[in-house]
Homo-oligomer: A and B are copies of this chain.
Amino acid sequence: MRLEKLLGPDIKLLLKEDPEQLGILLDEIHAEDLADLVGELDPDEAAQLLARVPAEEAAPIFERLDEHEQEELVELMGPESVAQIASEMAPDDRADLFSVLPDAVGDEILEKLEKVDPEAAEDVREIEKWPETAAGHLMTTSYISISPDENVEAALQAIRAYVKEHENAPVYNVYAMDTDERLVGILSLRELIAAKPFDLLTDIFRTNVISVPPEMDQEEVARRMAKYDLNVMPVIDDKGVMLGIITIDDVIDVLTAEQTEDVQKLGAVEPLDVPYFKTTFIEFIKKRGVWLVILFVEEFFTQTALRYYDPVFEAVKGASYYVPLLISTGGNSGSQSSTLIIRGMAVGEIKPRDWWRIAIRELFMGLVLGCGLGAIGFLRVLMYPDQHVDFAITVGVTLVGIVMTGCTIGSMLPLILKRVGVDPATSSTPFIASLVDVAGIIVFVHVAKIVMASVIEAHANGAGGVILHPH
């Protein structure tokens, strides 16, 4: 499991003493483990190692490093050798590399790449012109195309030629394209193997092809591939011209990254672009500070509301001590509802048009849950000796009202946000909680005003009110 820890020292030694032996050792190790290993080395040792191995062996390691490691290595290795490695990388990973590099550095390397491998440079430009989260940016331009007039044997030949040239590229399908580069049919490797050598492709390929346009958001692409259990998805423009393919490994990365983003939003953090330890302190202060300030300002309304209802809290002394308990219960039920709805929408189980079914359901759920908590709250208040029964009733009824409010706001807000085009995950747990807090105070005070009307009125007329905390 921790191969890189075990081999790290050996590699360091070999680098110093017998660099020629490195190739033999590295041949035995999966590229992904090598990437881990390189990640554990000091940057200059890593650069030295990558410089030692041929570019076609360095490429699969390099493309598996994370963006920051890549950036660091590019500086140490110089544009010339990076261009060499880039020419051997898979087109989609190559384009990713260029999109993480600072523009000036990227341009310099692209210039060198132009000389080493003009086709690769062209690929980079083709992929880079799409937005970073679009299908076009996720795709690779490397796939096997063939004329539909050819036969199975010719397709197998095309695969052999492709495999010889692209050692690490996975092959799932061959794509039959007409002279205008429009996709007309697909054949998988297994179908080709099962077919007879002289079958014409036109007679056997599948034509009901599922594809995506290059503008489609990567998350939508990922969901679609997951839905149809596809390992590879062709990207096709509005004229039917084939632009590239998206492979399943990239889709898994997208799904994981999007999930991380959603989780962070739910926790009221602006999504980080890089792992926890790679995020700078300043970056963190910005990404967390924004939301803390927004929530702080939002929460100021609780103080304003409490202050506004001062006469009630003066009449029922100690009632304000119940406020955090009551309003946080509303916040909790609201967080539950919003979590369920947001996740349901993210995986496509819930659509905004379902809103009324959800509203009814959540309202009833709030009623039942509120009654349960209300009963506990009622009994808890009564556990204090000399406690006012009216106040116990107030707490119980307030809880019912607050939980119903929480469930309703928590479930409806994400749907409203989605409707107006804002990412529903923005209505994070703390955001919902703060909203519900203010609503909770209003519910509490109004229930108190009704249940304890006589006490509050008497206090307004100069009487002493009730004291809920006899010592």
| Chain A residues packing against B (C-beta within 8 Å) | 28, 30, 32, 156, 159-160, 163-164, 170-171, 189-194, 208, 210, 226-229, 231, 248-249, 251-253, 255-256, 259-260, 262-264, 266-269, 272, 275-277, 281, 284-285, 288-289, 291-293, 295-297, 299-300, 302-303, 306-307, 310, 313, 318, 320-325, 327-329, 331-333, 335-336, 338-344, 347, 349-350, 354, 357-358, 361, 364-365, 368-369, 372-373, 376-377, 380, 403, 429-430, 433-434, 437, 441, 469, 471
Contact = CB atoms under 8 A, between A and B. Distances in A.
A266 B266 contact: yes
Chain A interface secondary structure, helix, strand, loop or mixed?
A: helix
A469 B160 CA distance: 83
B293 A373 contact: yes
A197 to B, nearest CB: 11
Contacts of A231: 170, 231, 248
B190 A170 contact: yes
B339 A263 contact: yes
A56 to B, nearest CB: 16
Count the copies: 2
A35 to B, nearest CB: 10
Given A285-B369, A369-B292, A267 B306 contact: no
A255 B307 CA distance: 48
Nearest to A159: B193
Contacts of A331: 430, 433
A324 B323 contact: yes
Contact of A318 (B253, B299, B307, B373): B307
A327 to B, nearest CB: 6
A208 B30 contact: yes
A405 to B, nearest CB: 14
A163 B292 contact: no
A5 to B, nearest CB: 12
A296 B194 contact: no
B284 A365 contact: yes
A310 B342 CA distance: 41
A193, A226, A344, A354: most-surrounded residue (chain B CB, <10 A): A193
Given A30-B208, A266-B266, A299-B324, A292 B336 contact: yes
B321 A430 contact: no
Contact of A268 (B248, B252, B335, B350): B335
Contact of A267 (B193, B266, B403): B266
Nearest to A399: B296
